[in-house]
Amino acid sequence: MDEREIGRLLRLLPAAPAEWTLTAQELPFLSAELADILERARGDGGFRDGLRADPDTTLRDHGYDLSPSVMAHLMKLLPEDEPDQS
């Protein structure tokens, strides 16, 4: 394989965004924690509003310690219009 072909192939695989990779590395070990947070968000309007307004502080206040990338992923999973069941 000549130099040009090696260079071409190396350029075909750019690094994935670092945040994506970090999240993928952490998520499988946080599934129970995330399910717990989402369950809580569905049933507790105050918690849900707090998450939307200031996820970092809200999660920390409730004893969760998530990395920024996982937190960003969590926010995407947050229910939009779940009724408050509390």
Partner 1 sequence: MRRAVDTEAGEAVISTSLVDRCRRGDRDAWRDLVAEYSRYVYAIIMRGYRLPESDAEDVFQDVFARVFERLETLRDDDALRGWIAQVTRNLCSDHLRRAHPHEELTEATVTDVDDRLADLDDALAVRQALTRLPQGCAEILDRFFCRDESYRTIGGALGIPAGTIASRISRCLDRLRREMAGRDPAAGASGGE
- Residue ranges in contact with partner 1 by CB under 8 A: 1, 3, 6-7, 9-17, 20-21, 23-25, 27-29, 73, 76
What is the rounded distance in angstroms from the CA atom of residue 25 to the CA atom of residue 78?
20
CB of 70 to partner 1, least distance (A): 10
CB of 55 to partner 1, least distance (A): 18
Of residues 7 and 46, the one with the C-beta less far from partner 1: 7
CB of 68 to partner 1, least distance (A): 14
Instruction: Please give the full DSSP string across 4-69, using - where no structure is assigned.
Output: HHHHHHHHTSPPPPHHHHHHHHHGGGSHHHHHHHHHHHHH-HHHHHHHHH-HHHHHHHTT----HH
Of residues 58 and 69, the one with the C-beta less far from partner 1: 69
